[in-house]
Structure formats: C-alpha cells, structure tokens
Chain A
Amino acid sequence: MRKVLSGNEAIARGAYEAGVKVVSSYPGTPSSEITDFVKRYDDIYCEWAVNEKVALEVAIGASLAGRRSMTCMKHVGLNVAADPLMTLSYTGVNGGLVILVADDPNMFSSQNEQDSRNYARFAKVPLLEPSDSNEAKEFVKKAFEISEKFCTPVIVRSVTRLSHSMSAVDLGERVETASKGLENNIPKWVMVPANGRVRHVFVEERLKELQAFNSKSDLVAEEINSNEIGIITSGIPYQYVKEALPEASVLKLGMVWPLPLDKIVEFSKKVKKLYVVEELDPIIETELLAQGVKLKKLKRPLTGELSVDAVKKLFGLKVNRCKAAVKELPNRPPNMCPGCSHRGMFYAISKLKLFAAGDIGCYTLGLLPPLSAINSTVCMGASISMAHGIDRASGGEYAKKSVAVIGDSTFFHTGINGLLNSVYNKGCSTVIILDNRITGMTGHQPNPGTGITIKGEESPRINFELLCRAFGIKNVVTVDPFDVDECIRVLKEETSKDELSVIITNRPCIFADRTVITNPYFIDEDKCTGCTACTRLGCPAIAWDKKKKIAMIDESLCTGCGLCPKVCRFDAISQRGAK
C-alpha cells in the first residue's frame, strides 16, 4: 500500500516494520512527532524520557536485553546524549540500536545550527541520511540490520526539510524479531579502562569494515549521465542537485559515515569535474580532499539551508526571482498565546526590571517586546546554573536583581541538576519554575509533572514544592501567575533574601487544558483612557485602536484568563456574562 507520509511518520513506520520493541525519546523540533507516531503502534513500548541522555540509556538497556530499540531527538539533544553515545560506540549493541537525530539547518526553531554528522565521525559510528519519506522508512530498517551486523549503534540523520515534508511511501509489514536475551558479557559491557582499551581496537576495526561494506552496499547509488560534471551528495541536497543539474552524473550516498571511498574513487574517474554538494559543514569534502580525491571546491556558505536555487547559483546557473519582492512588511513573530500562563509573571519581572536568565521553551518568547523579560538563553537547563554563576560572580549582589526562569519540562530535563548544585553550593539566586503542566513548545507532550504517560495512562505526578523542600530549600512559594500584584510582591521578597528561593507558578497551558477557557473580556470604551497598561502585556487578543486611541479586545481570541483587568487602573475591562 502507498501512502503520503511526513518524514517523521515514515521514520516511526520504519521502526514499526523493523520490529522495534522500545522507543524512548525527549521531544525537540523537528523530531518530536516521530515518537508521537510511534505511540500508535501497540507492539512498541514507548515513553517520553526526561532528557536525551536518559532516553539513550534506556535504549541501551533495551538493546542489552536483546531487543531492537530506538531513541529520537533533535540535534542539540544529541549533545545531551553525547556522554553515553561515545561509550556505546565501544560496547556496541546486542539488539539493534538506532539514534534518530533531526538537524535544523537555517534554525527554524533551534538555538544553533550544528551538523550532527560530526558526531558520527567523533563517535566512530555509521550515519545514514535519507532523502525522502520512503527512504526514511527504508533507511531506519537498514540501520537496524547494520547495527546488529556490525555490533554498533547507528545514527540516522534527518533535517527539518525531511522531517516536515511529505512524500509517497510504500508500506510494509512488521517483522517481529525474537529477543536475543539479556547479554551478560563483562568485557563488552563494563567499560573500565582495561576493557575499554580492548574495545577501542574493536571500534577502529569496525570502522574499516563498515567502510568496505558501504562501498559494496546498495546504500550508495551511481547515476551516470554526462561525463562533464560529477556530484557527490546525500540526503535532501540530493533532491536539489537532481533538479538544478539534471545533466550531471551523481553519486548519492545513503551512508555518509564512514564514506564509501572505493566507490567514490571509481566514480571520480568517470567524470571530468568532481564536486561535493552538502549542507552545513564540509564534512564529505574535507575528508575526500584529505584522502587525495581530486575535487573542485564550491564557494558554499557554511550556514543555512541549500535549495534548488542555491545549488544553481553554486554552479553559475541563472535563477528566476520575481523582482516585485516587498520589503518591510509587518512581521508575524511567534508570540505567547492569548491566555498563556507565563504572561503575568513576565509582566512582573519586566516591571521590576529584573535580569532574567532564561531557558528553552515557549517562555523564551518572553524576550519579545513589549514584555522584553528574558536576558539570556543558552541551552536546556542553563537558566538555573547560570543564575547561580551570576550570583556567585557578584558575591550575592546580582542575585538581588536577577532571577532564573524555567519551564516544568525543562526543569525535569536538566534544570533539576542545576538546582541541586545551587543548593549544595549555598547560592542565593531566585528560581522561577513556570509550571504549566506540559511540554508546550514541542506540541504538548506530557512530562513527570503532568500525571500521565505518553499513552495517556495515569502516572505519579511530581510535586515541585515537596521536591524543592526535599532538596532542603526553605523558601518555596507557589503563586498564581495571573495575580500580577502578588507576583511582584513575591518577586521583591524572594530576590531580597540571602538564601536560595524557588517560586512556582500554577496555571496550565491554555492548549493543554482547554477547560480553563472561560468567557472573554471586553473593554468599556468610555472608561478606557488609552493608558496602554493592557497592551503592554503583549497579549495577541488586545489591540490598539489608533483612531480612537483606546485598547480593544478581540473576543474570538480572548480565553478569559483575567490578567488584563488586573493591570487596568480604570476598571475599564470586564468579563462577558459576569455580574
């Protein structure tokens, strides 16, 4: 049967057809949907882990227990999982293990643009790169075969353009694989130095074998057309090359690490000019030059996405582009939703002009005007540890003017370690856990604070207040983020203390819990003085009427959160249906 599937749905299907038994992941755009699709298959145990390191370790355990397992993450997630990855390369696997990593060239929703192919080289493991949905499904299956054949974890790399594009896929049946049983092999699985030294030799040998295998495998495809130009490419760039240069001969690599050198040298002899077209880092190009392959280097930027037009430009071909482009249009930046439970706290932070060490999630959008409430964003969990650094660098002085803000899921991810560190090292920063009971940014995946699992089954719900108290933190306060005055009062009080404080907000995400939506508010035109206190909340439901010089509420967007009447000093905002 043929079906149109997104790259992510096809990857999930590939895992299903490969007989995968365990999938553990942490959500991250553009990889998040894969595990959400996996949860539809009852034959696969799947879970949201608290972070990518944990997810990979769960997959390693499943592999050790003899079953095929997979973990999915975005590129920056692989940084978190890098520690187990490097040693997993040494131990190898028992049941096949695939790490699906989705890169984000051009950073549509990421904090950096790193190229995960570097990790394959670094960890000395094979990496496959599919170029459409059907290949995504097939390559996942092949990756499991390679994993078991060569006793290695295999990375399958996607990119936003693959994960979030759709094309036709031929569906196959699931092939159940029997458990290989729990492997009790100490020299292989206990990486003390003596064993590690032996395994490192194995890793180097394996890499050579993989290279020879790649040259002979059907993962590399030669398309001979004209002998003028030959292009070595892989993944999504292959599609751009085929369209931009239909006359060129192409060597399409399915496995980009280790490279099929023999095959490449053979191909290079068939064409007059040889080029590499790849996205982001010049990994293939650098390696081939080092191996003495005669290549012509392209003047390619090391940033952003390729496209058919970009490839044409690299080869000096003409690009159509309508000259009627309009510059300086009003932008549509992403914004925190109407009714977002973070808005009140950000308003308070902004009002008090506190320096806020931010983190990764919807609430990063608090950086946008008019709230402009975020002053730093580095990586998952960094807010709490950075606030501690800010505090210690100034002998406690800056702690009085700064806070850390972190979401519930990010807190569980790696924020929890930072908080433990601050407690242990007697910091006096103020940490705000913006608890909206869900992983918002990536599409509302549940987490240990939600009280349900990925399958919707009930599970223990972690109580932030008790957790912080168990850490030995004395100052733990829960506030209603829509009560701005209370937020301001608590912020003033907690930042002034010479001790660590945690402030927890307690309103759910408006998209995760639609039951909190109530009657909309409206503005009494006669009472509105045009003071702009409400428009400074940055709520998409509140507009400024330029002619009348008053604010107005779009009642189709308003969720009735009740934040704006709390900042209106003229009693001009009331709720529909209220007495």
Chain B
Amino acid sequence: MSFNILMFGVGGQGTVLSSDIVCEVALESGYDAKKSEIHGMAQRGGSVVSHVRIAKKVYSPVISFGEADIMVSFEYMEFLRYMEYVNSETLLVLNTNKIFPPGVLSGKEEYPEKIIKQKLKLFKDVSQIDALKIAQESGNIKVAGMAVVGALAKMLPFEKDVWKKIIESKVPPKTIESNIRAFETGFRA
C-alpha cells in the first residue's frame, strides 16, 4: 500500500500543519513517510504546496507528475494549478471556500468557476466540504484546516485514534477541543 498525497492552499490556511499531521500519522502507523513543502512567502498570501508520500520505503520527497493518489485542495480553485499530477484514479478532497487572488480582487481577472466545474469531472471521486462552516460550528474559525484533514482521514487506512493523538500533539493546547471537533465533522462529511 502506498499513497501520494498532494496538499495545497493559500498561506494561512493551515496546509503545512495539516501535512505534518498526515506524515506523522503514517509514521506512527508503521509506514515510511516523507514530506516536502514550498512555503517561502506563504504568510504573504502566496500559494503553499506540500507533497506527502507514504509507503513501505519512500525515496523522493516529491510526487511525480500523474502520480497523485489523493489531492487535497484547501481552497476552491487551487487544484487547477496541480492538474499535471492527476491520473484517472485520483481522488480529490475539495474545500469549497474561495479566497480571491489579487488579480480577481482588483477586477482584472475572473475567478475560474467554469473551468473548476469542467475539471472536477476528471477526478474519480470528489469529496467537497465547506470547512469554514464546519470551523464556525466548532467555535473556532481558525480550525477550518482540521475539517479538511478529517475529510482526508476518511480516505486513508489509519486508525482514528492515531489521528487524534497526533492532532493533539501538534495544535496549541487551548484549541485541542475545537480542532478535534472540526476533524470529526470533516470525517463524517
């Protein structure tokens, strides 16, 4: 069993923390795991991408083109940037929350609604969630990322208790409860 999971979003959405969690859960569950991320100027509204690879033995920390088993898009349009990694079996976890890029904000570019609808058809399965809504319901708007992790966890063969244990060790103590709640809701979604 092996998984190539490509996770991406916009700076501040928790993409990096989420991919750390996936990586640690895999290792805790007895697999080899590697992760590579590009977050250079993430805090400043740029794109963030993390490659997570899980197998008995992993070499390259980066996923090859056409070899993503699961793509996790923390923002509604971002998956379009990574279509080169998709194959006919790729699953997509899609947060429907939109963050408008500067070109859209300034009115010079269109948010690509049509292309999104069209490209979604290329995935074997798409699991859409409204992470912001889930986060609001769990009482902390900042835990939206964990709802996405929950939706991803459902697709992976790791024990739920391991997920919870790792999440608890990685998030600020005060936010453990709301993070776990968001994870659970994402898992059920």
Interface residues of A (CB under 8 A from B): 2, 4, 29-30, 108-109, 132, 160-161, 164-168, 236, 239-240, 242-243, 307-309, 319-322, 324-326, 329-337, 362, 365, 370, 441, 511, 535, 538, 540, 542-546
CB <8 Å contact, B105 and A543: yes
- Write the chain B residue with the least CB distance to A106: B38
CB <8 Å contact, B87 and A320: yes
- Write the chain A residue with the least CB distance to B111: A330
CB <8 Å contact, A543 and B100: yes
CB <8 Å contact, B60 and A109: no
Cβ of B36 within 8 Å of any chain A Cβ, yes or no, is yes
Please give the number of chain B residues whose Cβ is less than 8 angstroms from any Cβ of chain A in the complex. Answer: 53
CB <8 Å contact, A167 and B33: yes
In chain B, positions 63-92 with a C-beta closer than 8 Å to chain A are: 64-67, 77, 80-81, 83-87
CB <8 Å contact, A165 and B34: yes
CB <8 Å contact, B45 and A168: no
Interface string of B35-51 (1 = CB under 8 A from A): 11111110111110000
Interface string of B86-112 (1 = CB under 8 A from A): 110000000000001111111101111
If the complex has contacts A320-B65, A326-B119, A365-B44, are A331 and B103 also in contact, measured as CB distance less than 8 A? Answer: yes
CB <8 Å contact, A542 and B81: no
CB <8 Å contact, B102 and A29: no
Q: Which of B10, B34, B44, B122 contacts A324 (CB 8 A)?
A: B122
In the complex, what residues of B have CB within 8 A of residue A168's CB?
27, 32-33
CB <8 Å contact, B32 and A322: no
CB <8 Å contact, B40 and A332: no
In the complex, what residues of B have CB within 8 A of residue A161's CB?
36, 61-62
Enumerate 14 A-B pairs (CB-CB under 8 Å) in ascending A order.
A4-B27, A161-B61, A167-B33, A242-B60, A319-B66, A320-B64, A329-B80, A330-B103, A330-B104, A336-B44, A337-B44, A370-B106, A540-B105, A545-B107
In the assembly, what is the distance between CA of A573 and CA of B64, in Å?
A: 49
If the complex has contacts A334-B45, A542-B105, are A167 and B61 also in contact, measured as CB distance less than 8 A? Answer: yes
CB <8 Å contact, B59 and A242: yes
If the complex has contacts A243-B60, A320-B67, A326-B80, are A167 and B115 also in contact, measured as CB distance less than 8 A? Answer: no
Cβ of B184 within 8 Å of any chain A Cβ, yes or no, is no
If the complex has contacts A167-B33, A319-B64, A320-B64, are A332 and B45 also in contact, measured as CB distance less than 8 A? Answer: yes
CB <8 Å contact, B102 and A540: yes
Interface residues of B (CB under 8 A from A): 10-11, 20, 23-24, 27, 32-41, 43-47, 58-62, 64-67, 77, 80-81, 83-87, 100-107, 109-112, 115, 119, 122
CB <8 Å contact, B60 and A240: yes
Nearest 3 CB-CB pairings of A with B = A320-B66, A109-B40, A334-B41
In the assembly, what is the distance between CA of A331 and CA of B112, in Å?
A: 12
In the complex, what residues of A have CB within 8 A of residue B47's CB?
332
CB <8 Å contact, A308 and B58: no
In the assembly, what is the distance between CA of A330 and CA of B102, in Å?
A: 8
CB <8 Å contact, B83 and A546: no
Q: Which of B39, B87, B105 contacts A322 (CB 8 A)?
A: B87
- Write the chain A residue with the least CB distance to B16: A164
Most buried by A among B67, B84, B122: B84
CB distance from B75 to the nearest CB of A (A): 9
In the complex, what residues of B have CB within 8 A of residue A542's CB?
105
In the assembly, what is the distance between CA of A56 and CA of B188, in Å?
A: 54
- Write the chain A residue with the least CB distance to B47: A332
If the complex has contacts A161-B36, A321-B65, are A337 and B43 also in contact, measured as CB distance less than 8 A? Answer: yes
CB <8 Å contact, B102 and A321: no
In the assembly, what is the distance between CA of A335 and CA of B47, in Å?
A: 11
CB distance from A413 to the nearest CB of B (A): 19
In the complex, what residues of A have CB within 8 A of residue B67's CB?
320
In the complex, what residues of A have CB within 8 A of residue B103's CB?
330-331
In the complex, what residues of B have CB within 8 A of residue A160's CB?
38
CB <8 Å contact, A324 and B86: yes
If the complex has contacts A326-B83, A337-B43, are A108 and B119 also in contact, measured as CB distance less than 8 A? Answer: no
In the complex, what residues of B have CB within 8 A of residue A2's CB?
27
In the assembly, what is the distance between CA of A240 and CA of B61, in Å?
A: 9
CB <8 Å contact, B112 and A29: no
In the complex, what residues of B have CB within 8 A of residue A332's CB?
10, 45-47, 101-102
- Write the chain B residue with the least CB distance to A337: B44
If the complex has contacts A535-B106, A544-B105, are A330 and B112 also in contact, measured as CB distance less than 8 A? Answer: yes
In the assembly, what is the distance between CA of A283 and CA of B46, in Å?
A: 34
In the complex, what residues of A have CB within 8 A of residue B23's CB?
4, 166
In the assembly, what is the distance between CA of A167 and CA of B59, in Å?
A: 10
In the assembly, what is the distance between CA of A336 and CA of B102, in Å?
A: 11
- Write the chain A residue with the least CB distance to B77: A329
In the assembly, what is the distance between CA of A243 and CA of B67, in Å?
A: 13
In the assembly, what is the distance between CA of A160 and CA of B38, in Å?
A: 8
In the complex, what residues of A have CB within 8 A of residue B20's CB?
4, 166
CB distance from B21 to the nearest CB of A (A): 10
CB distance from B36 to the nearest CB of A (A): 4
In the complex, what residues of B have CB within 8 A of residue A307's CB?
60, 62, 64
In the complex, what residues of A have CB within 8 A of residue B36's CB?
161, 164-166
CB <8 Å contact, B66 and A322: yes
Beyond known contacts A330-B111, A334-B46: 4 more, CB 8 A cutoff: A320-B66, A321-B84, A331-B103, A334-B44
In the complex, what residues of B have CB within 8 A of residue A334's CB?
11, 40-41, 44-46
If the complex has contacts A166-B20, A309-B65, A543-B100, are A326 and B105 also in contact, measured as CB distance less than 8 A? Answer: no
